[in-house]
Amino acid sequence: MTHYRENHMSNDDTIFGKIIRREIPADIVYEDEQVLGFRDIDPKAPTHVLFIPKIRIATLNEAGAEHADLLGRLMLAAAGFARAQGLAEDGYRVVMNCNENGGQTVFHIHLHLLAGRQMTWPPG
Ligand code: 5GP
């Protein structure tokens, strides 16, 4: 079990930790006590926002039952943002990549919100 990985990795291990602490700039579009949302630096859709927990969980593999509420908050933050931006009716996609096969490159979990164009299926 690598369940406790986030507990012995400091929060500044990834670029997202720096964004949380405002050490590097980001276009922040959503914030609450536990979640931050900011625009992806290399957008793959007209709207591409990343929703991250303020605590670091490296990958979805490290998430446990104690994180269930936090994971739900990521989803609800994305859906709420989409609704507020008028993107909900047309639709959107939310994605969380995990490890190499999933295409994860930043090891602080993040939910991608992609909107503003027709998505294709299956994803590449
Ligand atoms: P992953 O491939 O891990 O699912 O997604 C990581 C995402 O983070 C990518 O879409 C990438 O463009 C984005 N990203 C990487 N570095 C930065 C950064 O410094 N600022 C912002 N806003 N996005 C970043």
Q: Which atom of ligand 1 lies nearest, measured to the CA of 38? A: 22
Around ligand 1, the residues with Cβ closer than 6 Å are 15, 26, 38-42, 50, 97, 103-106
pLDDT of residue 89: 98
pLDDT of residue 2: 40
pLDDT digit of tens for each residue in the chain (124 aa)? 343 344 444 545 899 999 999 999 999 999 999 999 999 999 999 999 999 999 999 999 999 999 999 999 999 999 999 999 999 999 999 999 999 999 999 999 999 999 999 999 999 8
The model's pTM is 0.93
The set of catalytic residues is: 110
pLDDT of residue 95: 98
Nearest-angstrom CA–CA distance, 58 and 16: 11
Domains of the chain and CATH, by start: 15-115 (3.30.428.10)
Give 112 Cα–ligand 1 centroid separation in angstroms. Answer: 9
**Residue the block writes with tokens 């670029």:** 15
